[in-house]
Each structure stands twice: as C-alpha cells, then as structure tokens.
C-alpha cells in the first residue's frame, strides 16, 4: 500500500457449516452455482501470478489437497471445517503457526510482503458502514480473486503462495487471523516492537463479500497529505497513526512492474537478499527501525525511494511534527507504531469470542532480527585474501597471539603499506560483493 491464499475452491458455504450467519445482503448477492469456484485455488496461484490477463473465477479448479475436512469444534463434533469457514481460531494453533512463520521469514526474507498482506486486508475498513462484512476490514476477504486483482494488491498473490502451506497445516486458524499474525510477526522478527495483538477474527465466506476497489491509498495523488487523511480518517485513524504506520516503509522495496513506482534495481537491492531488484526506502530494508524518517529528512541518497506520500510527511505541518519526532526518537516511534499497527489489525473485524484471543509470546529473546547480506557496493575481503594478509602480518613478526612489538616502527609502516595496496586493488575491482551489518 502507498503507506503501502487460497484454498480449495468452494461455493458459498451454507449456514449449517458456519458459525456465523451471513448478512442478508451478502447471501442474496451470491449467484454462483454449487460448482462455481469462489476461491483462488492454491494450485492456480502460480498461474495467476504469472498471468496479467483478467480471468473469471471458473478458471480456477478445485484443489485436491484442500478438500473440506471434519474437525472437532467447540460445541459441535460434526462441524464441517473448510478454509472458508467463519469461526474463531485455535490459540494453540496460533502459537505454533507463529513459529512456522518465523522460519518462513528467516528463509525467504519475506517480511515486507507479509506486512503488506495484513495491512491490505485490514485497510479496506470504512467506519461509516456499521454492517459486517460490508464495512470491510480484517476479515480475510483478500484471499478471494476479485479483491486479489485490485490494482493496489498487485504482487500480493506471492504473499498468499507463501502463507498457504501454513494455513493448510493449521486449518483451525481463520485467514483473517493468519494474515494479521504474519504481518505482526514480520515486524517483530525484523527487530521492530512487539505488537499487542489479539485474535479470533471471523472470515468472510464468499467473493461477493469483498469490498469494492478504491479503498486503499495511492502513492502519488495530486494532494498527498489530503489523500492520506481522506483514506485513513475513513478508517478512524488520526495524523499520529498515519505517520507512525508510514514508518513501516523502513521495510521493503517498491517494484515498478507492480506499483509503477521506483527503479528496477539499485545498489542496495540488485543482489537481494531474497529476489533481487526494486527500490527500497532504506539501506537495510529488512531491519525495522526509524531509518525511514531519518533518510527522508536528510535526502542524502538518490537510490532511496521517496514517494509523494512519503515527502508529505515532512511538508504538511501536522505530519511533520510527528515525522521529526520519530526521526530523532526511535523509542517513541516503536511505541506509537505498535499501538497503531494493533489498531489497524482490528479494524472492521468480527471476533469470536467477542473479547478476542490473546496468545503468550513467551519470554523476550533479545535481538530477533537475523542480519542479512545487502548489496551496498562495499567490498568484503575473500577468505583467500584474508589468509594472504595474515601471512604478510605473521611474516613481519605479528600473530593473533603475539601482537607486533611497539618498537618495530618500520614493520608497522610496511604492514600499513601492504593493506593500502590491497584496498586500492579492491577499490578498482568492479565485481559485486556483499556486506552484512
């Protein structure tokens, strides 16, 4: 989003297989026949990701790996549980799924797109509409083909492909909860604050319940500040929350083939981590911190992305008050971001039980972020070069256990000269390398 999966195909679930009665408008709007698929099937996500043409829902066949299954459920021993059922999530499965998502993050470097997945499912909320699910929000509707094809959701099919195996493994978690769990976990694992989340969101059950296109923000509207307020005030958010949430752009990259914004690649993204390419807002774009605000304020690097809606944060007087604060006070940013993220994740949601489900995150484990290697055009010595330097160092009397005597002035000068020559050589070497942090 400018601040910015599927399962077996089903027809609309009958009231006897769900725990929530559908609103009359939603029921009457469903005209699909029992054989018409209503979900993007997992097996067809790859074709959707690679195809730019519009297709009807009949394109997507049933997925044999995700047929409806019977599971014990609260108050019923014969409830049919399917990926589209509207029911509360299981706390034990939520905790286990969170651990699986952590593994996914550490192996796929997919923090940014999972944050976006949760945001875009919740960000359709309209506070002026009382009825659920017409009001939009965090209800799992993004898994359906009509909403997945909204322009603002370009590329999110890849997030759904990543998260679907977790959904298959933990069938007693709603999609709405899974999207928000993945989003919050991605922030936390990237070094961000712990988000005070609750779960138990009920899923919508048919594509007819998807919100209309146009509820998410644009990246380059004519009046960026006014546009941000129009979109986020509709959700019930204020200026502080708009700016704090914007800080999540410390993660990720913009790809011109998806959003129309950014460069195809920069010195920070041309070699990953993950899939190379795109333009990032920050240098270390898989680390959650306040770099986004500092980099926009300093405007020091043309390889870092600044969208019109980003620049507005330091141009609009009210926004600027918060942006300046967050640029200089990372603790204040973390506090306000955690509160705003939790609020966003609950927008429009219908909880079962009504008070929600809280899962224990366990004891704090210190720094959660696993440093990744970034492409910054800096040179790192190869193992062979390190061995050569060590050999030169030992040849003039030094070793790890025996430093050079301080009175060997000439030897020190020689060692420095050797290092200067080596680094001069490396500086003229045009080959790409990586440096961590």
Please give the positions annotated as active site. 120
Closest CA to 114 of 42, 186, 56, 51: 186
Q: Which of 172, 203, 200 is nearest to 351 (CA)?
A: 200
Under 8 Å between Cβ of 184 and 192: no
> Residue 339 in 3-state DSSP?
helix
- The dihedral of CA 198, 202, 206, 211: what is its sign? negative
Q: Mutual orientation of helices 157-169 and 111-122 as an angle, nearest 10°?
A: 90
Going from the C-alpha of 379 to that of each of 270, 371, 425, the distances in angstroms are 15, 17, 11
Strand partners, 280: 253
CA distance 433 to 71: 51
Residue among 65, 12, 343, 382 at smallest CA distance from 207: 12
Q: Name the residue among 187, 165, 140 with its Cα closest to residue 20.
A: 140
Half-sphere exposure of 35 (CA within 13 A, CB side): 0
Q: Is residue 71 exposed (0-12), middle (13-18) or buried (19+ Cβ within 10 Å)?
A: middle
Nearest to 296 by CA among 287, 307, 285: 307
Question: DSSP letters along 60-125, please?
Answer: SPPPGGG--EE--BTTBSS-EE-TT---PPPHHHHHHHHHHHHHHHHHH--HHHHHHHHHHHHTT-
- Rounded to whole angstroms, the Cα distance separating 264 from 274 reads 15
> Would you say 40 and 60 are in contact if contact means Cβ atoms under 8 Å apart?
yes
Number of C-beta neighbours around residue 214 at 10 A? 11
Task: Tell me the three state secondary structure of residue 399.
Answer: strand
Q: Give Dmax (Cα) for the chain.
A: 91
């Amino acid at each position: 989003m400018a601040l910015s999966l599927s399962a077996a195909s089903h027809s609309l679930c009958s009231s006897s297989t769900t725990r929530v009665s559908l609103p009359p408008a939603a029921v009457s709007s469903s005209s699909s026949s029992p054989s018409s698929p209503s979900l993007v099937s997992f097996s067809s996500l790859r074709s959707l990701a690679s195809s730019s043409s519009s297709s009807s829902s009949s394109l997507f066949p049933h997925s044999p790996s995700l047929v409806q299954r019977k599971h014990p459920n609260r108050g019923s021993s014969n409830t049919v549980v399917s990926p589209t059922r509207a029911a509360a999530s299981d706390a034990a499965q939520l905790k286990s799924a969170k651990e699986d998502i952590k593994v996914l993050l550490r192996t796929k470097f997919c923090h940014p797109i999972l944050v976006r997945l949760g945001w875009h499912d919740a960000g359709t909320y309209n506070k002026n509409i009382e009825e659920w699910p017409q009001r939009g929000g965090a209800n799992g509707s993004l898994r359906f083909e009509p909403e997945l094809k909204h322009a603002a959701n370009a590329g999110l099919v890849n997030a759904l492909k990543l998260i679907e195996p977790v959904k298959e493994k933990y069938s007693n978690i709603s999609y709405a909860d899974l999207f928000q769990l993945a989003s919050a976990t991605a922030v936390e694992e990237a070094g961000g604050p712990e988000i005070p989340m609750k779960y138990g969101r009920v899923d919508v059950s048919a594509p007819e319940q998807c919100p209309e296109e146009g509820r998410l923000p644009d990246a380059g509207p004519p009046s960026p500040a006014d546009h941000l307020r129009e979109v986020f005030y509709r959700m019930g958010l204020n200026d502080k929350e708009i700016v704090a949430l914007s800080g999540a752009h410390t993660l990720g990259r913009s790809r011109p083939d998806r959003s129309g914004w950014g460069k195809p690649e920069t010195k920070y993204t041309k070699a990953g981590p993950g899939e190379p390419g795109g333009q990032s807002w920050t240098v270390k774009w898989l680390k959650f911190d306040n770099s986004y605000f500092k980099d926009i304020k300093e405007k020091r690097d043309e390889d870092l992305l600044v969208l019109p809606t980003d620049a507005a944060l330091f141009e609009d007087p009210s926004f600027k008050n918060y942006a300046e604060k967050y640029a200089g006070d990372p603790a204040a940013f973390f506090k306000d971001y955690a509160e705003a993220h939790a609020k966003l994740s609950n927008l429009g949601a219908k909880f079962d039980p009504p008070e929600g489900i809280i899962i224990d995150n366990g004891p704090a484990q210190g720094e959660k972020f696993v440093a990744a290697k970034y492409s910054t055009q800096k040179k790192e010595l190869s193992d062979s070069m390190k061995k050569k330097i060590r050999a030169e160092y030992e040849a003039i009397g030094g070793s790890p256990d025996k430093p050079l005597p301080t009175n060997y002035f000439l030897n020190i000068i020689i060692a420095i000269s050797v290092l200067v020559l080596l680094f001069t050589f490396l500086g003229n070497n045009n080959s790409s390398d990586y440096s961590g942090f």
